[in-house]
Copies of this chain bind each other. A is one copy, B any other.
Amino acid sequence: MESIRQRISVPFGYDVHFTSDLFRAGNPLLASLADRTYRMLCVIDSGVAEAHPSLAGRIEEHCRDQELQLAAPPIVVPGGERVKNTHQYVDALHAAIFEFAICRHSYLMAVGGGAVLDMAGYAAATAHRGVRLIRLPTTVLSQNDSGVGVKNGINAFGRKNFLGAFAPPHAVINDFEFLTTLHARDWRAGTAEAVKVALIKDATFFDFLENEAAALAARDMRPMQRLIAHCAGMHVRHIQSSGDPFETGSSRPLDFGHWAAHKLEQLTNYELRHGEAVAIGIALDTTYSYLAGLLDETGWRRTIGLLTALGFDLSLPEGSLLPDRDNPRSLLSGLKEFREHLGGPLTVMLLKRIGEAVEVNEMSNELLLESARLLHEAVRDSRCNPVEARNQ
């Protein structure tokens, strides 16, 4: 009997909008994105709720004014990685979706940092096989990177994003107002993905970051808005042009520095922010690229210099660089875990020059340990005091 061939192409579309103070009276943006005949449920990151005590009330008022059907008062969940380290918040959102009769055409609006958006996105993607997700990223990192993409997830078995789905959102709204109340660490952490994308794809953007590093570190909103819009656009276009938006193949050119970053987050029990870990991962792989003879010294120094000028502490956590790749307490085991998560042979991105990456399928333990030593010296010699910076 002949086989039956199935070939389908599934279209997805969403827009990333920019605004300031989405919930102010008369801001028409939210209502323009949501069909009033369907209900809406809202979940808020506790960090955002604390920084904006009137937010839940303002959302309720805004929905009343705009005649949007808010099905229940906003639900507050913990901010940061702890919301992803258990199944309980996903379960709670599923229960709320059930209780408040949110259907597949109704909305879950998630307001928060990347972790809350990831968790809420996973809950939305799996209830009724997908309810509509409106993301309101509130951090630099989520506005310029994770919040505008097609992924979600929670951690399990000690592995970052072990559970999740590919599920494009209904819409993304980047509200710059939320950035004004960010902690210094979160403001800074978000710039790491900008450095990453500049390093692997966009030398001109790297120049921009170098020129604006002091202003960015001083929390100047103007260059930050440009940084976010530029990165978000690059991220969206990368997904568009990859030919493989749901990553069924092995090419993932936006993951520079991430094998180490994921493992560093886990090793520090998520004490390091994702962006802080990415900055260290970038620094390590840039140093490795230099020592491997791929990148010249100027490129290496400019990269470490930019990360330092942005205020990142690039020290590796004490004892994280045990030489044994099979030891799960060693940073090096992150390479194995990264390969398992992505599937296929190990593919790690390194740098050829600022603005251009190259893929390799192996990293040498010895050279990694040497990179860590060199990075350690460079950090020690730098004029920036990273410990002070981290504790701001």
Contact of A13 among B8, B129, B131, B225 (CB under 8 A): B8
| Interface range for A | 35 or more
Contacts of A16 in B (CB 8 A): 3-4, 6
Are A246's CB and B10's CB within 8 A? Answer: yes
Given the interface contacts A9-B9, A103-B343, does A94 sit within 8 Å of B156 by beta carbon? yes
A15 CA to B98 CA in the complex, in Å? 35
Which B residues are in CB contact (< 8 Å) with A14? 6
**How many copies of this chain does one complex carry?**
2
- Find out whether the CB atom of A103 lies under 8 angstroms from the CB atom of B339: yes
Which chain B residues border A240 with CB–CB below 8 Å? Answer: 6-8
Interface pair A8/B239, CB less than 8 Å apart: yes
Q: Are A98 and B162 in contact (CB under 8 A)?
A: yes
When each residue 135-177 of chain A gets 1 if its CB lies under 8 Å from chain B and 0 otherwise, what string results? 0000000000000101101001101011111111000000000
Q: Give bound CA distance, A95 to B159, whole Å.
A: 12
Partner of A10, one of B3, B94, B122, B245: B245
Do A162 and B128 touch across chains, with their CB atoms under 8 A apart?
yes
**Assuming the A-B contacts A9-B9, A159-B98, are A1 and B229 also in contact, with contact meaning beta carbons closer than 8 angstroms in the complex?**
yes
Q: In whole Å, how far is A96's beta carbon from the nearest beta carbon of chain B?
A: 11
Residue ID in chain B nearest A152 by CB atoms: B129
Given contacts A9-B11, A18-B3, contact A128 B341 (CB under 8 A): yes
Query: In chain A between 1 and 59, which residues have their CB closer than 8 angstroms to a CB of chain B?
Result: 1-18, 38
Task: Give me 11 other A-B pairs in contact (C-beta within 8 A), A4-B232, A7-B12, A8-B13 excluded.
Answer: A6-B12, A6-B168, A9-B9, A10-B12, A98-B159, A101-B340, A103-B342, A105-B250, A122-B126, A126-B165, A130-B166
CB<8 Å pairs between A and B, sample of 7: A4-B16, A4-B148, A8-B239, A103-B343, A104-B248, A104-B343, A130-B248
